[in-house]
Structure 1
Amino acid sequence: MQANEMAAATAAGGLDYREVRKIQFTGRSTYVLSLPKKWVEEMGLKAGDQVTLLREGDNSLSVVPMSSAAAAGSGSLPEATAIILPSESPSTLRRRVVSMYLAGYNIIHLKAKSGRMGPALRDAVREVARRNLVGTEMIADAPDMITLQVLLSLPELSVNTAIRRMYLIASSMHRDAMAALAEMNAELAREVIKSDDEVDRFSLYVLRNLVMAAQNGRVLREMGLKNPSDCLGYRAAAKSIERVADHACGIAEAAARLKERLPKETLQKVEKMSYLALSVLGDAAEALLRRDYQLADRTVDAAGGVHALEADAVQAMEREKVHDQAATVRLVLEDIRRTAEHASDIAEAALNETIGEEMAMAAAEKALGR
């Protein structure tokens, strides 16, 4: 039984699961620990039934009935009900739904206190489910209540896969934004801005799963993570990639405002800076996903080079007398610089996640006399 389930049962007045029991030795090689009778009865177990023993990251053991996974798939999912006041605004309701999604609830009931939910609130719920919440569908729509259910199960989309998709979308947005800038392509710029919703959806999905993983060792392993501390690095990476997408939108918005093409040298300097930002972003994502300490370390150093390239671009603007559009170009340079800085943040998260493995490897090599 998981720790949070034990705590909930104890709080509800059930068996005290903190009781001390002795390990007994039987036969020649078997250690035996008896299970509390009340817990066995509550789980519907009997002699001969199987349970799974899971070793957690802190070396504790979880006892999980074999039927627990089937029970979860049959509809016994966490639920939550929020009472919606008549004075509640659509934006407040959207934030509430997102918070409940991030908390890990699979079924979300939204019930109107006044007996009827207005059109603006209903539209807000539909919009946030469609645009922001991966795998979430409206399964009930009554005048006084709306019910959302998260249909996507954990193994279908791992955190690694979601992070990689976020990176691919954000980097594609950056490239398209730079193409829109070079070609003065307002239509392409608008497409970049539309893509931002997709990155936001995956970001919320990752954060939701990390919250659940931090609370449950079994969920942590199902996501392909090793330790609860991994959640911190992945959370930082998800937020950084989300910000990279926001900066791509900033470049696209600047491209849409341009009145004439940028001078050749200025554009080349801006594109060179962009190339570096994308390069370190790709390396940072790979370092995190592959748990590569050395690549992460090199990436942090490489990201620092963006400042010199920014200075070169500013000098090119001055040489080519870019005055009317100087403010717009400087905003683009800032967005590119911030992209490289967020890539450095991801690489630093990878360093923090893998330092233990790096130290263990160094110790092993020392022991071998290398």
Structure 2
Amino acid sequence: MTKDRRKIQFTGNSTYIVSLPIKWVRDIGLKPGDTLNLTSMPNKTLLVSSSVLPKERSVLKASIDYLHTESAENNLRIIISHYLAGYDSLKLTTSKGFSAYDRKFIKDSVRQKLIGLELVEESRNELVFLCLLNYTDLPLGRVIKNMYGLVLSMLLDSMTSLRNHNMEIAEDVIQRDDDVDRFYLLAVRQLKASLDDVELAEKIGIRSSKDCLGYRLIIKSIERVGDHAVKIASNVLKMDTGISVDDPIFKMAELSRKVFESSIDSMAEDDLQAINKIVVDAKNVSQFGVSLESRGDGSTLDIALSMILESLRRVAEYSADIAEVSINMNVKKI
């Protein structure tokens, strides 16, 4: 990042003019007669952008050495980090060639976890992925809505599997977590990209760069609620029988679900006191869960139920976190 100082000049009776850095003009590909967009930012700065496309579209490329000394999971983590950083083209290379396991693992994992990243070239020593995603096709609000819908269905189905001892539903809940992770990683990528591109931020529905931190915390909390739905389903798989519908754990599940729904609704709520009530309700639900903990005799069934109860408490606590972020994001600027 470089700074150029320019003096403001006054011409005519009402026009202020300032010259543009010649390197920037050439890099963008501007010529006399082209139009610039001037955007007044909330922090009193002025964003100067061009609607003229560069001579060649800039594609952010990265070349990644596949490390055979590391596990396939560790190598995948490096790929994900580049995806989140906004790289459009990822070339994974190795002089030794990919093993059959590593090749399949990387290809399957990218397909399952990273929206928009497609394999476009493949050889013995290279795998090239290209991001074909158009951010405006999936604005941030829609991504969050999709995440929330998935997680809510996972919560409902995990408790259904507990009540009916339905192993098929429990396994399906666990599998759906991959879809939640895909939307979560996409949202993180969008938020990072919007910090560098104000016009993109506006297109995907971010009112201010200050909101990016709030959205980051919200999507993480939603993702963690999904993880606890998976934990509930995993504990159901360890049990030998279903649970009576009259068991108080189902009341706890209903209360946790309701505050989770309310916390998401709070993102569009302008009344700070109403949002504050959601925070209080969520904390009360968590305390209700504490009151249910002293039960059972240490059997496998009771241990599983205790773990499920703890996950439901965590759902309520993450819901309180979401509502608290909504309060912070909805405070009107003085």
Q: Does residue 161 of structure 2 align to residue 180 of structure 1? A: yes
Shift of 1:297: 1.2
1:350 counterpart = 2:326: yes
* Aligned 8 A contact 1:57 1:228 in 2: no
In 1, the alpha carbon distance for the partners of 2:111 and 2:167 equals 26
Q: Is the 8 A contact 1:291 1:353 kept in 2?
A: no
Give the drift of 1:306.
1.4
SS at match of 1:305: helix
Aligned 8 A contact 1:184 1:255 in 2: yes
Separation in 2 of the partners of 1:292 and 1:146? 51
Amino acid of the structure 1 residue aligned with 2:251: K
Say if 2:30 and 2:52, in contact at 8 Å, map to a contact too: no
Equivalent residue number for residue 200 of structure 2 = 219
1:287 CA displacement: 1.3
Task: Measure how far apart 1:258 and its partner are.
Answer: 2.1
Deviation at 1:342, TM superposition (A): 0.6
Q: Secondary structure at the match of 2:174?
A: helix
1:196 touches 1:249 (CA, 8 Å); kept in 2?
Answer: yes
Supply the distance in 2 between the matched residues of 1:193 and 1:38 (Cα, whole angstroms): 53
Cα offset, 1:264, TM superposition: 4.9
- CA deviation profile, 1:20-46 (whole Å, cap 9, x unmatched): 212222223222112233432333222
CA positional deviation for 1:324: 5.5
Amino acid at match of 2:210: S
| Residue-by-residue CA offset, 1:112-140 (whole Å, 9 max, x unaligned) | 1x252332322222022111101111111
Aligned pair partner of 2:21 in 28, 36, 40: 36
Distance 1:307 1:290 in 2: 23
Cα displacement string for residues 243-274 of structure 1 (whole angstroms, at most 9, x for unaligned residues):
11111111112222222232454x2x111111
- The answer to whether the 8 Å contact 1:291/1:350 transfers is no
> 2:98 and 2:244 mapped to 1: Cα distance?
55
Indicate whether 1:103 and 2:85 are aligned: yes
- Contact 1:240-1:342 at 8 Å conserved across structures: yes
- Is 2:124 aligned against 1:143? yes
Residue range with higher mean Cα deviation, 287-296 or 302-311? 287-296
1:291 offset after TM fit, Å? 5.8
Q: Summarize the alignment of residues 158-197 of structure 1 with structure 2, pairs less than 5 Å apart.
A: 158-197=139-178
Look up the SS of the partner of 2:259 in the other structure: helix
| Counterpart position of 2:8 | 23
Q: Is 1:332 matched up with 2:332? A: no
CA distance in 2, matches of 1:205, 1:233: 16
Asked whether the equivalents of residues 303 and 344 of structure 1 are also in contact (C-alpha less than 8 Å), the reply is yes
Q: Deviations over 1:91-131 (max 9, x none)?
A: 1111011110011111111121x252332322222022111
Q: For residues 244 and 96 of structure 2, what CA distance do their matches in structure 1 show?
A: 62
Q: TM-score, normalised by structure 2?
A: 0.92
1:45 to 30, 38, 41: 30
> Mind listing any 5+ residue stretches in structure 1 that lack a counterpart?
1-6, 11-17, 361-370
CA distance in 2, matches of 1:97, 1:123: 15
Identify the residue that residue 306 of structure 1 maps to in structure 2: 285
Q: 1:143 to 1:95 in 2, by over 3 A?
A: same
Contact 1:287–1:293 (8 Å) recurs in 2: no
Letter of the 2:204 counterpart: M
Residue in 1 that maps onto 2:103: 122
Asked whether the equivalents of residues 109 and 147 of structure 1 are also in contact (C-alpha less than 8 Å), the reply is: yes
Distance, in Å, in 1 between the alignment partners of 2:286 and 2:48 is 54
CA drift of 1:232 comes to: 0.9
Secondary structure of the structure 1 residue equivalent to 2:192: helix
Please show how residues 272-291 of structure 1 align to structure 2 within 5 Å. Answer: 272-290=251-269
2:242 partner letter: R
Separation of aligned partners in 1, 2:23 and 2:302: 74
1:200 aligns with 2:181: yes
The size of the alignment, in residue pairs, is: 334
The Cα shift of 1:333 comes to 0.5
Judge conservation of contact 1:97–1:125 (CA < 8 Å) in 2: no
Q: Is the 8 A contact 2:8 2:18 kept in 1?
A: yes
How many Å separate the matches in 2 of 1:195 and 1:85?
30
Measured after TM superposition, the shift of residue 89 of structure 1 is: 2.3
Q: Distance in 1 between matches of 2:117 and 2:273?
A: 39
% identical aligned pairs: 32
Query: How far is 1:206 from its partner?
Result: 0.7
Q: What is the SS of the residue equivalent to 2:111?
A: helix
Is the CA contact (8 Å cut-off) linking 2:286 and 2:316 kept in structure 1?
Answer: no
CA distance in 2 between partners of 1:208 and 1:312 (Å): 40
Query: Alpha-carbon deviations, 1:306-358, whole Å to 9, x = none?
Result: 1343245446x56xx89552111111110100001011111111112122x1x
Distance 1:184-1:85 versus aligned 2 partners, 3 A rule? closer
1:248 corresponds to: 229
SS in structure 1 at match of 2:129: strand
